[in-house]
Amino acid sequence: MLKGDGPCNAQRIATRVAAHEDGAWVREAAAAHAEKVVARAAQGAVA
């Protein structure tokens, strides 16, 4: 890759963006799980 502005680069970027958007639910679920683990740990430490 010399310049990075070829036709395949646009396709590569579009595919990367689509994959990132499709994987958003996984990141959201992981964040929710992490919050739940922290909340349970805090509840266990208090009780």
3-state helix, strand, coil in the chain (%, to 5): 85, 0, 15
* pLDDT digits 0-9 by tens, 8-33: 999 999 999 999 999 999 999 999 99
The model carries a pTM of 0.63
In a domain, 4, yes or no: no
In a domain, 28, yes or no: yes
The size of the chain, in residues, is 47
In a domain, 31, yes or no: yes
Number of structural domains in the chain? 1
In a domain, 34, yes or no: yes
CA 7 to chain centre: 26
In a domain, 12, yes or no: no
How far lies 29's CA from each of 1, 15, 41, in Å? 36, 22, 18
Containing structural domain, residue 44: 22-47
pLDDT band at 45 (very low <50, low <70, confident <90, very high): confident
In a domain, 30, yes or no: yes
